[in-house]
Amino acid sequence: MKRFELEFGEETLRLQLPDHAEILTLPAVAPLQHPAATIRHALQHPIGKPSLAEIVRAKVQHKPKAHAVIVISDSTRPVPYRGEQGILEPLLEVLRAGQVESVEILVATGTHRPMTDAELRHMLPPAAFAPGVTVTNHRCTETAELRHIGRTVRGTEVWINRHYLDADIKILTGLVEPHFMAGVSGGAKSICPGLVGEQVTYIFHGAAMMADARADSLSLEGNPCREESRAVAGMAGVDFIVNVTIDRNKQVTGVFAGDLDQAHRAATEKALSEVVIPFGQHYDIVVTHTGFVGKNHYQAAKAAVEAARAVTPGGQLILAANLTDPDPVGGPNYKRVLPLLRQLGPDAAEQKLLSADWTFVPEQWELQMWARVFRRLGPTGRFILCAPQLTGEKFHEHGIHGHDGGAGLAGAGREFAEAMVQRLLHRVQPHQRLAILADGPYGVPRHRR
């Protein structure tokens, strides 16, 4: 046996692995030696735009009492907003120096729940709570907070957060990493889905778009999700972006500021060189974790979709998840559609969502992502969830597809999760190919053909 520590939210699971286990991990990438200096340099020398200071100066000359909005990701993304690597304080410094009258930090929650004050203060630097700065959650169902600005060629009626639209200076921030629908994150996704009304998702995350094979991780050309996101962002307008890439230890490896398309393209090229994990033969069993993003079952789908790529058809996927959200499953709409997988199976469940008589339910798209996982694993649904917050009666109450890793065990917290995963590892036979996907949803396994 050999020892290994598997990421488990902000903790780790101390495991003993069979000697023949293979550990698949992201390629080693050197983090920035001086991230604070690199961030400031990127603001002064952006890609495809004048410096942020120049943009601010021009805006303030036109409107002396200018208002700026900085769009940030919510806590499901490990964007470095505070500390030495923090991108938020340098932005605020430029805005203050340019005599911008007020700044709103707008959390691009998309359809996620609003962040609490405690969560925001943990994630953001003190400067985010200084006089003249406000922090606001986007709420996709609050119609009074939205404004209609037109329709895309695909027919999406575009409703956008009015605070964003009313700002004189519009800045997007984010992380560029694999995204299992839009190819990669960052860029336009800060606006769509980050700042849209719920009705925008009816097409943007509709069943037909989610069933398109091009709506997948690292898929860029012809990805309908990516194209619609960019179309919506173009209608809303963007003055400046700051996107980053990070390594397996959440250390910044690149800072890309400036034009929405050009800076995001540069960040995407960097990310594509760092996130692919090549492998040879598929594995009978893959063990992984839900990473920073996996705060509930809804978000855990990201890790499951990526890990399933390395599993041989009909193989087994073991997923460790520290579901720290107040509701470990997800929102009420997700809970409404989730049992369809167990009741109908992946193919029939997706066909139901695609049928003409189905009424769209927000967050149904994640059901389609889980369907991808179970198609790979086969009709036996050889998926085992090791989540202390979602086991026993809770597991079955919500109609979760797959198997409860805690069945027959008792306990809570990290030690309980550790016991779940370790018990399954002890059952692995020498002839079974076993892989540990060490980086969870942040690496994309790719089969070397």
Q: Taking the chain, what is the end-to-end CA distance rounded to the nearest angstrom?
A: 31
Q: Are 420 and 430 in contact (CB under 8 A)?
A: no
* Structural domains of the chain, ranges and CATH numbers in brackets: 2-26+276-447 (3.90.226.30), 35-272 (3.40.50.11440)
Which tokens sit at 271? 């990310």
Helix, strand, or coil (residue 157): strand
Whole-number Å distance between alpha carbons of 29 and 24 = 15
Mean pLDDT across the chain: 95
CB neighbour burial string for 413-428, b if at least 16 within 10 angstroms, e if fewer? ebebbbbbbeebbeeb
How many CB atoms within 10 Å of residue 431?
7
> Quick one: average pLDDT of 98-119?
95
Quickly state the pLDDT bin for 241 (edges 50, 70, 90): very high
Q: Are 346 and 376 in contact (CB under 8 A)?
A: no
> Quick one: average pLDDT of 320-334?
94
- Whether the pLDDT of residue 321 is over 80: the answer is yes
Q: Are 293 and 270 in contact (CB under 8 A)?
A: no
pLDDT digits (tens, 9 = 90+) for 357-376: 999 999 999 999 999 999 99
State the number of CA atoms in the 13 A half-sphere of 194 facing the CB: 29
pLDDT at 75: 85
Q: Are 322 and 296 in contact (CB under 8 A)?
A: no
Q: 177: which DSSP letter? A: -
Please report which residue ranges of 115-168 form alpha helices under DSSP H. Answer: 117-123, 162-166
pLDDT at 1: 85
pLDDT digits (tens, 9 = 90+) for 286-297: 999 999 888 999
- Whether the pLDDT of residue 113 is over 80: the answer is yes
Give me Rg for the CA atoms of the chain: 22
> Quick one: average pLDDT of 264-276?
95
Whole-number Å distance between alpha carbons of 195 and 189 = 9
Question: E strand or H helix at 134, and its extent?
Answer: strand 133-137
Whole-number Å distance between alpha carbons of 445 and 180 = 12
Angle, in degrees to the nearest 10, between helices 88-97 and 35-44: 40
- pTM value? 0.91
Q: Are 394 and 384 in contact (CB under 8 A)?
A: no
Helix, strand, or coil (residue 73): strand
Q: Report the candidate in 323, 294, 324 with the shortest Cα–Cα distance to residue 306.
A: 294
- Whether the pLDDT of residue 415 is over 80: the answer is yes
For CA atoms 233, 119, 31, 83, the dihedral sign is: positive
Whole-number Å distance between alpha carbons of 306 and 302 = 7
C-alpha triplet 15, 16, 18: angle, nearest 5°:
135
CA dihedral 301, 305, 307, 310 (to 10 degrees): 160
Quickly state the pLDDT bin for 381 (edges 50, 70, 90): low
Whole-number Å distance between alpha carbons of 336 and 83 = 40
229 vs 378, more confident:
229
> Quick one: average pLDDT of 86-104?
97
pLDDT digits (tens, 9 = 90+) for 57-86: 999 999 999 999 999 999 888 899 999 999
pLDDT at 380: 63
